[in-house]
Amino acid sequence: MDFEIASETEELLERYRGFMESELAPLEADAVSLPFSALEGRLDARRGRAKEAGLWGPNLSAELGGLGLGLVDHGLVSEVLGGYLYGHYVMGCQAPDAGNVEVLATHASQDQREKYLRPLAAGEIRSCFSMTEADYAGSNPVLMGTTAVRDGDEYVIDGSKWYTSSADGAAFAIVMAVTDPDAPPHRRASMLLVPTDTPGFEIVRNIAVMGRAGDGWASHAEVRYAGCRVPVGNRLGAEGEGFAIAQERLGPGRIHHCMRWLGVARRAFELMCRRATTRFLGPDETLADKDIVRAWIAECAAEMRAARLLTLHTAWRIERDGWRAARQDISAIKFLVAGMMGKVLDRALQVYGSLGMCDDTPIAWFYLEERAARIYDGPDEVHKISLAKRILRDYR
């Protein structure tokens, strides 16, 4: 693959960089310490400006009001946005809505498109995705206790979910529930659209993550489904296709995540280098004069570049050959990029010392928000095992 960036794409990236610097960078001091609800009004105003500037929805098709970028170009945009707090939210390409838009764009009926997809793509409503359950290992997604039992023209949903990101304030949830417990493991579950005002939908709590419960979009909820009734017409795709649809969502979703993580790492790296060259240890010595700091900087620079090239290569393969053909690369980037980002953040924090632990820089905020990268969408260990199994098949 040729990684030369087209001139039109580079011009677009410059527009995103300019918007981020003028519109989001000034909010950073408040964004690291204030809850989402205190920032939402200002963020939504910037969403309006993003639409006026023609930058809204890099992941959305033109028909849905977006830029219709391919996976590689959207990945490059995501890298820019990742270096700014709430960058993706302001551009309407934030998780979990971005993944839910992709699912709806592919599998929604016409009625579902009008009721859910179009207002979601426009940023008029938010959504959430309910899959993870506290009582079942997330590393084995076929294990699930939530059920959806057919009762005439309705499904009755019962069960508990947690880490349902952004449920607080969402208009609807996409719920993974077992519709046929006797089917083969990967045919047991279906995806159902559940408006959050449905009787029986209850947000039990916003889970405190490393001491912060969060609110609104920036939260992770425990949700109870107690006899929630939804029409059969709220099912996405055929019954039993939930896992197949989820797999389609994961490939592009990992590119979005990985390029965002690269943006986070780049920001932390730049902060680390500035700190190293300006933090004096004596009259004529800075942190940058220490061999260990120089080694960290060299290693981070090399690892960031390698992770970026593999991620862009994977995006290119998905665009050219489809996600199935790129499965090994998709597994590889998940643990490689998440681990790289964590290492860069940790070293940046170490270089900053006590200052890195507080909210005077965005490092601690990124550290808190992104540690989960090695857990969600499948823990790193599962992806390593999966990749190794595929590689070893060629040697047996």
Q: What is the pLDDT of residue 141?
A: 80
User: Where would I find the H helices in the chain?
Assistant: 7-19, 28-31, 36-52, 71-82, 87-90, 97-107, 110-112, 118-121, 242-278, 291-321, 327-352, 354-357, 363-370, 380-393
Average pLDDT, the chain: 95
CA–chain centroid gap for 123, Å, is: 17
Spell out the residues 6+ positions from residue 323 whose beta carbon is closer than 8 angstroms to its own. 247, 248, 250, 251, 252, 330
Tell me the C-alpha distance between 70 and 75, whole Å: 8
Split at pLDDT 50, 70, 90, the class of 3 is low
The SS3 call for residue 235 is: strand
Query: What class does CATH assign to 243-393?
Result: mainly alpha
60: tokens are 């959305």
Count Cα neighbours of 136 within 13 Å in the Cβ-side half-sphere: 15
Report the percentage of the chain scoring pLDDT > 70.
Answer: 99
* Res 167 pLDDT > 90: yes
Q: What is the pLDDT of residue 89?
A: 98
Query: Following DSSP, what letter does each residue of 127-171 receive, concatenated?
Result: EEEE---TTS-TTSTT----EEEEETTEEEEEEEEEEEET-TT-S
* Structure confidence by residue, pLDDT tens digits, 169-184: 999 999 999 999 999 9
* Res 261 pLDDT > 60: yes
Q: What is the pLDDT of residue 252?
A: 78
Which of 173, 155, 154, 171 has its CA nearest to residue 163? 173
Which of 234, 251, 260 has its CA nearest to residue 82? 260
Region 331-351 average pLDDT: 97
Cα distance from N-terminal residue to C-terminal residue, the chain: 30
Of 177-181, 255-259, 316-320, the range with the highest mean pLDDT is 177-181
CA distances from 101 to 39, 50, 112, 215 (A): 24, 19, 11, 22
Which of 285, 322, 253, 201 has its CA nearest to residue 93? 253
* Structure confidence by residue, pLDDT tens digits, 202-242: 999 999 999 889 999 999 999 999 999 999 999 999 999 99
* Res 388 pLDDT > 60: yes
Domain 127-238 has CATH 2.40.110.10: yes
226: tokens are 């107690």
Tell me the C-alpha distance between 144 and 109, whole Å: 26
Tell me the C-alpha distance between 162 and 129, whole Å: 10
Cβ atoms of 190 and 179 within 8 Å: the answer is: yes
What is the CA angle 132-133-135, rounded to 5? 150
Residue 5 burial (CB count, 10 A)? 15
**Cis? peptide before 231, omega within 30° of 0:** no
- Which of left, alpha, beta for 211 (phi over 0: left; psi -120 to 50: alpha)? left
Q: The tokens 């905020």 sit on which residue?
A: 365
The SS3 call for residue 224 is: strand
Region 57-64 average pLDDT: 95
pTM: 0.93
246: tokens are 């989820």
Q: What is the pLDDT of residue 124?
A: 98
CATH assignment of 7-100, among 3.20.20.70, 3.40.1030.10, 1.10.540.10, 3.40.50.1470: 1.10.540.10
* Res 253 pLDDT > 90: no
Split at pLDDT 50, 70, 90, the class of 67 is very high
Domain ranges across the chain: 7-100, 127-238, 243-393
* Structure confidence by residue, pLDDT tens digits, 17-58: 999 999 999 999 999 999 999 999 999 999 999 999 999 999
